[in-house]
């Protein structure tokens, strides 16, 4: 089993690159953003709670997200491995993920951090907001999300760096260029299936 964390600030391309990675390497995609948006669209109790945080650009509480991830991992026993997209976003989530994987006799093998200048992040997300209708893609909420990232999520990069698992990737280039660099790093662990 090979487990990858795709890390980076909002709009750095985690979702975009995850799609390419899961297809190329036949891995299971776990995106906490997608899972939360699905709960919101179905108006579940979890979704109603999560929406309050997401619409303000804040992180959803750790216990909600960790519970959601845990059941997703349990339901994918036959997977070749996982791409964690947008998770972990706090040190508490990172420690919880390590425990969940240890329980399954596996671990996080690699963390690829997409590095993109802040101006590009804002431009990308404002642009997406025009077409996606995502309520968290307004300039005010985007600024709050980036602030939350610096405060709570950046320490996760330090955590994985301390464990020797972090690789920083230039994420400001076009999607295909960025993917080539990501693939070069993944190929050291796993061969493509396509």
Residues that bind ligand B4P (CB under 6 A): 8, 10-16, 32-33, 36, 53-54, 57, 59-60, 65, 86-87, 89, 93, 124-125, 128, 136, 145, 174-175, 178
Which one, 10 or 81, has the nearer CB to ligand B4P? 10
Q: Which two tokens stand for residue 178?
A: 């960025």
User: Nearer to ligand B4P by C-beta: 16 or 138?
Assistant: 16
Residue 17 CB coordination number (10 Å): 24
Cα 84 to chain center, whole Å? 5
**Closest-CB residue for ligand B4P?**
33
Tokens of 183: 């693939």
Which residue lies nearer to ligand B4P by CB, 15 or 165? 15
Omega cis (within 30) before 88: yes
**Shortest spacing between CB 190 and ligand B4P, in angstroms:** 21
CA angle 152, 153, 159 (to 5 degrees): 110
Quote the least distance from Cβ 93 to ligand B4P, whole Å: 6
**What does the longest C-alpha to C-alpha distance in the chain come to?**
44
Cα gap 30→152, rounded to integer Å: 20
Q: How far is the CB of 158 from ligand B4P (least distance, A)?
A: 17
Judged by CB, which is closer to ligand B4P: 109, or 172? 172
Tokens 């995609």 identify what position? 29
Rounded least distance, CB 109 to ligand B4P, Å:
19
């Amino acid at each position: 089993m090979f487990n990858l964390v795709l890390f980076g600030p909002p709009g750095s391309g985690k979702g975009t690159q995850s799609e390419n990675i899961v297809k190329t390497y036949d891995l299971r995609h776990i995106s906490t953003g997608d899972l939360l948006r699905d709960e919101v669209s179905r108006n579940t109790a979890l979704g109603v709670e999560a929406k309050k945080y997401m619409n303000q650009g804040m992180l959803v509480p750790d216990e909600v997200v960790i519970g959601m991830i845990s059941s997703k991992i349990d339901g994918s026993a036959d997977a070749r491995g996982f791409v964690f997209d947008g998770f972990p976003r706090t040190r508490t989530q990172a420690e919880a993920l390590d425990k969940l994987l240890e329980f399954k006799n596996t671990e996080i093998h690699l963390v690829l951090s997409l590095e993109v200048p802040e101006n590009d992040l804002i431009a990308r997300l404002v642009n997406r907001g025009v077409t996606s209708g995502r309520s968290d893609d307004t300039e005010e909420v985007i600024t709050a999300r980036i602030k939350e990232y610096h405060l709570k999520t950046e320490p996760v990069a330090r955590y994985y760096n301390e464990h020797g698992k972090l690789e920083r990737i230039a994420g400001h280039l076009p999607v295909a260029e960025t993917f080539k660099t990501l693939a070069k790093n993944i190929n050291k662990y796993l061969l493509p299936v396509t």
